[in-house]
């Protein structure tokens, strides 16, 4: 009886969206979230492989991609710092700084934490008449901590908790300056649930690894800036797989595939009351309607709310492919491609990267090459510097 119910529910979930696939889908319908900085990959390694990392080998920067990877690290402790000058084609003062670290108690469990700070530069505030009255320096930051544990020899899971803070006005009270409404700092609480599978495989050329990972991230509350409307944070479902294999004792190559989807409903939605499918403008929810949707309802609606049905839901999936070549596990060359539908944001770009790793520290860099016209991400650089605390300890003890 129970199996039959689950089969019926799964059938409805898969078939119902397809019933609307004949409706118009070629409309601009990007998904907008608050605190978009939470969706920016902070590390140069993942950034050099097409912005992916949920199923790559465990490293210092696993906190963002998949904290469940930490029990599989080769070192017991590490700390990393990354710096990304963001959207430099638009403004020269937007930066993302990320610091993260982990400690592995034994071969089974680990704890980890990170702090990220996103500065959006300086913005001149004006009233409706265009008169300047103040200069704001909006910023966002988040702090999180995670616990990860192996549940078997090859599989681990992790849970992370996060506090997110966003100040778009940076202390400037717009109500006293001719603006329509007051703006206040917003905050949210969120959690990640992730899993990681690493299967060693013996080949004639050496030890290979098949890896699989998933991460449900930023599952949490909404953000409010004006005490009236509420905004969704970028809850996301990320799924990926990778295969790393050796050519010989020194040369290795990993190939990785990944897809992710925002678990956020669209304001242009089929759940809008009184919609008319012949006029795309009437698919748009009012701000009050959109703000009234709860976080949990939004997660589920995000799989079936697209006006174009199943076809448009597929457009919401952003995917990437990345490769990493390593020599002696010390020198690395990376490349990747990331793709987003032109109706959902049109972020399409190649990435390249390189890095080297010694017993005590590692240094990585990544670079974005856009293939879409007028993409502000073009030319984005990322830099990361990591320290193996166990290697440093061994050096001091000598």
Residue 111: exposure state from Cβ atoms within 10 A (0-12, 13-18, ≥19)? middle
pLDDT tens, position by position, 346-392: 889 999 999 999 878 899 999 999 887 767 777 888 999 999 887 66
Tell which residue, 38, 110, 99, has the closest CA to residue 68: 110
Which residue, chain included where needed, has tokens 């908790």? 161
Under 8 Å between Cβ of 254 and 210:
no
pLDDT tens for 91-146 read 667 889 999 999 999 999 999 999 999 988 777 666 666 666 666 778 899 999 99
- 134 Cβ contact list (under 8 Å, min separation 6): 124, 125, 172, 177
Strands in 281-360 per DSSP E: 317-327, 331-339, 349-357
Stated pTM of the model? 0.86
Contact present, 268 and 289 (Cβ < 8 Å): no
| pLDDT number for residue 99 | 96
CA distance 112 to 147: 7
CA 113 to chain centre: 16
Average pLDDT score over the chain: 85
Q: What's the pLDDT tens digit per position in 290-325?
A: 888 999 999 999 999 888 888 989 999 999 999 999
- Residue 15 is encoded by which pair of tokens? 């078939």
What's domain 2-397's superfamily in CATH? monomeric porin ompg (2.40.160.40)
Question: Confidence class of residue 12 from pLDDT cuts 50, 70 and 90?
Answer: very low
Token digits of residue 297: 């309802």
| 112-132: burial string, b at 16+ Cβ within 10 Å, e else | bbbebbbbbbebebeeeeeee
Give 192-228 pLDDT, tens digit per residue.
999 999 999 999 999 999 999 999 999 999 998 887 7
pLDDT at 13 over 50: no
Neighbours of 358 (CB within 10 A): 10
Name the residue ranges covered by the structural domains of the chain: 2-397
Burial (CB count <10 Å: 0-12, 13-18, 19+), residue 107:
exposed
Reported as a single tens digit per residue, the pLDDT across 258-275 is 999 999 998 888 877 654
The predicted-structure confidence for 360-371, as pLDDT tens digits, reads as follows 889 999 999 988
What's the token pair of residue 162?
Answer: 């996060």
Dihedral (CA of 151, 257, 102, 167) sign: negative
């Amino acid at each position: 009886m129970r199996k039959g119910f689950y089969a019926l529910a799964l059938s409805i979930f898969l078939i119902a969206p397809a019933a609307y696939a004949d409706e118009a889908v070629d409309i601009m319908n990007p998904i907008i979230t608050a605190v978009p900085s939470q969706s920016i990959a902070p590390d140069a390694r993942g950034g050099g492989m097409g912005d992916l990392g949920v199923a790559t080998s465990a490293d210092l920067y696993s906190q963002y991609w998949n904290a469940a990877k930490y029990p599989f690290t080769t070192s017991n402790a590490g700390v990393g710092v990354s710096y990304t000058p963001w959207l430099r084609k638009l403004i020269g003062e937007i930066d993302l700084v990320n610091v993260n670290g982990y400690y592995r108690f034994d071969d089974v469990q680990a704890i980890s934490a990170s702090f990220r700070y996103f500065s959006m530069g300086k913005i001149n505030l004006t009233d409706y008449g265009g008169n300047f009255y103040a200069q704001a320096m909006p910023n966002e930051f988040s702090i999180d901590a995670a616990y990860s544990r192996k549940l078997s020899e090859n599989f681990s899971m992790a849970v992370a908790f996060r506090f997110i803070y966003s100040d778009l006005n940076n202390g400037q009270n717009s109500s006293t300056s001719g603006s329509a409404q007051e703006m206040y700092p917003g905050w949210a609480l969120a959690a990640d649930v992730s899993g990681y599978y690493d299967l060693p495989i013996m080949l004639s050329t050496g030890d290979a690894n098949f890896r699989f990972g998933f991460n449900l991230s930023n599952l949490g509350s909404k953000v409010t800036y004006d005490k009236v409307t509420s905004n969704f944070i970028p809850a996301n479902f990320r799924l990926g797989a990778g295969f790393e294999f050796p050519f010989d004792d020194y040369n290795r190559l990993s190939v990785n595939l990944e897809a992710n989807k925002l678990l956020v409903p669209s304001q242009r939605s089929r759940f809008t009351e009184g919609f008319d499918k012949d006029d795309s403008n009437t698919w748009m929810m009012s701000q009050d309607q959109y703000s009234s949707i709860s976080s949990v309802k939004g997660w589920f609606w995000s799989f079936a709310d697209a006006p174009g049905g199943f076809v448009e839901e597929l457009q919401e999936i952003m995917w990437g492919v990345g490769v990493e070549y390593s020599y002696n596990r010390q020198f690395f060359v990376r490349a990747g491609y990331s793709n987003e539908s032109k109706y959902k944001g049109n972020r399409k770009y190649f990435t390249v990267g390189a890095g080297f790793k010694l017993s005590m520290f590692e240094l990585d860099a990544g670079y974005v090459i856009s293939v879409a016209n007028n993409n502000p991400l073009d030319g984005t650089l990322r830099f990361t510097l990591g320290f193996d605390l166990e290697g440093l300890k061994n050096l001091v003890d000598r």
